């Protein structure tokens, strides 16, 4: 399961969005134990799974999911230093950075004024400083260990951290470094916060969420002064209005669709956040179908078939023989798997086949 952790200043709408996305009912600091994050799971919206479910009418419909973590902001700030040792944040695949762009006299801003670019940079600076502390402490330990037992692996770890430390000292996030191969794997092993891909959620006013700006993030970014910040590596953005999302969440499905149409939107901001988190990490979905269950499975783009099979069960991967594959478009156009076979659209692929987004797969394996 994909894992994303929320960061942001107090009063940014971070915890409200978390609760809406995950249907969590806890509120405020009481939901958090010391050094612990509240965890919730969101379903990834996917019209293709809806289409397959309508076709097969299965007993179960199982969407892909994203796990979100939320830690109460400390002292009115993002509390980035406090995140360093929180397991849910260390193990997160990406950060969801909620930035306040709305004006509300009833909700005081910790800094006194609303300034999205200032806040985005402040939280980024906290993440970088937290990582710098981790890097410096680890380098000190490595130098001591090298004096006792010099190994190639320790030396390479030291070399990677020696690349990271100057970048952090210059105020550059580690996600901007162009590390490759084994060095990139070592960097991931440290679980640095500023190395994680970042989704910036711009929390707008109701008046800002209108017309064309509702569907074009470049306009929202420009209007809030965030364009320079969003030009950084592995940083993308989506705009929402938490106040509107609260209203949408309380409506019935038909009324919800009408409400969104009036705003010029095809889906809620929460769905856009969930989908953007999924896309940010380069994940795709393949499907398994049948009368018992239609399910979406999450895998990184470029995953070979045998490894994809392990998402279902390790025994399927170990006994892998062939993958019976048909594309979503082919299946939904023909209407049945039998018709796809008649037209030569069902393929038998080997273990090195790279699974494509939207593949419907039946794995053949030996028990």
Residue 75 token pair: 């002292």
Q: What is the DSSP string of 206-243?
A: TTTS-GGGGT-HHHHHHHTT-HHHHTSTTEEEEEE-HH
The answer to whether the Cα torsion of 247, 252, 256, 262 is positive or negative is negative
pLDDT score of 330: 97
Instruction: Dig out the tokens for 8 from the structure.
Output: 């942001």
Cross-strand pairs, 241 = none
pLDDT at residue 210 tops 70: no
Q: 111: which 2 tokens? A: 């800094």
Digit-coded pLDDT (tens) for 234-279: 899 999 888 888 888 888 878 888 888 777 777 888 888 988 888 8
Instruction: Decide: pTM greater than 0.75.
Output: yes
Distance separating alpha carbons of residues 73 and 14, to the nearest angstrom: 9
pLDDT averaged over every residue in the chain: 87
Rounded mean pLDDT, 331-356:
96
pLDDT confidence of residue 216: 54
Residue 88 vs residue 94, higher pLDDT: 94
Tokens of 280: 């940010």
Q: Is pLDDT above 90 for 160?
A: yes
User: 164-170, long-range: CB within 8 Å, 24+ apart, which pairs?
Assistant: 164/131, 164/135, 164/192, 165/132, 165/135, 165/136, 165/139, 168/128, 168/129, 168/131, 168/132, 168/135, 168/194, 169/132
Report which secondary-structure segment, H or E, holds 14.
Answer: helix 14-22
State mean pLDDT over 320-338. Answer: 96
Segment 56-61 mean pLDDT: 96
Tell me the domains of the chain and their CATH numbers.
2-112+195-280 (3.40.50.300), 302-365 (3.10.20.30)
Residue 218's pLDDT is 64
Percent of the chain at pLDDT above 90?
57
pLDDT of residue 116: 94
Cβ contacts of 293 within 8 Å, gap of 6 or more: 58, 59, 60, 61, 62
DSSP secondary structure letter of residue 103: -
Backbone region of residue 76 per phi and psi (left: phi > 0; alpha: psi in -120 to 50; beta: other values): left
Average pLDDT over residues 90-112: 90
Mean pLDDT of 64-89: 74
Q: Pairing mode, if any, of strands 293-300 and 60-62? A: parallel
Higher pLDDT, 217 or 336: 336
Asked if the model's pLDDT at residue 29 lies above 50, the reply is no
Band of pLDDT at residue 108, cut at 50, 70 and 90:
confident
In DSSP notation, 110-155 reads TTSS--HHHHHHHHHHHHHHHHHHHHHHHHHHHHHHHHH---HHHH
DSSP 354: B
Q: In the prediction, which pLDDT does 63 show?
A: 96
User: What is the reported pLDDT for 213?
Assistant: 42
| Angle formed at CA 310 by CA 304 and CA 316, multiple of 5 degrees | 105
**Three-state SS at 46:** coil
pLDDT at residue 76, as a whole number: 47
């Amino acid at each position: 399961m994909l894992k994303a952790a929320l960061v942001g200043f107090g009063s940014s709408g971070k915890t409200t969005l978390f609760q809406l996305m995950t249907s969590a009912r806890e509120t405020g600091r009481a939901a958090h134990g010391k050094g612990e994050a509240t965890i919730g799971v969101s379903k990834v919206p996917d019209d293709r799974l809806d289409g397959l479910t309508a076709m097969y009418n299965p007993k179960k419909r199982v969407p892909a999911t994203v796990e979100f973590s939320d830690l109460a902001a400390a002292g009115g700030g993002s509390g980035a230093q406090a995140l360093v040792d929180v397991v849910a944040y260390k193990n997160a695949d990406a950060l969801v950075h909620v930035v306040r762009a709305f004006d509300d006299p009833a909700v005081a801003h910790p800094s006194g004024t609303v300034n999205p670019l200032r806040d985005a940079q402040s939280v980024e600076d906290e993440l970088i400083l937290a990582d710098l502390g981790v890097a410096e402490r680890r380098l000190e330990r490595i130098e001591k260990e090298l004096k006792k037992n010099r190994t190639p692996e320790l030396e390479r770890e030291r070399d990677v951290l020696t690349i990271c430390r100057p970048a952090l000292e210059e105020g550059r996030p580690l996600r901007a470094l162009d590390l490759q191969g084994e060095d990139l794997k070592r960097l991931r092993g440290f679980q640095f916060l500023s190395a994680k891909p970042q989704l910036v959620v711009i929390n707008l006013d109701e008046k800002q969420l209108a017309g064309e700006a509702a569907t074009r993030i470049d306009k929202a970014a420009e209007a809030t002064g965030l364009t320079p910040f969003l030009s950084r590596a592995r940083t993308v953005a989506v705009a929402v209005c938490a106040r509107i999302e609260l209203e949408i969440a309380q409506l019935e499905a038909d009324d919800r669709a009408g409400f969104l149409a009036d705003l010029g939107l095809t889906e809620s901001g929460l769905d856009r956040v969930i989908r953007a988190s999924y896309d940010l990490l380069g994940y795709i979905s393949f499907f398994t179908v049948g009368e018992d269950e239609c399910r979406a499975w999450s895998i990184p783009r470029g995953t070979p078939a045998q490894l994809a099979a392990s998402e279902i069960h390790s025994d399927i991967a170990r006994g892998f023989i062939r993958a019976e594959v048909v594309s979503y478009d082919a299946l939904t156009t023909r209407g049945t798997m039998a018709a796809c076979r008649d037209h030569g659209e069902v393929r038998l692929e080997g273990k090195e086949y790279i699974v494509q987004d939207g593949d419907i797969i039946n794995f053949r394996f030996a028990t």
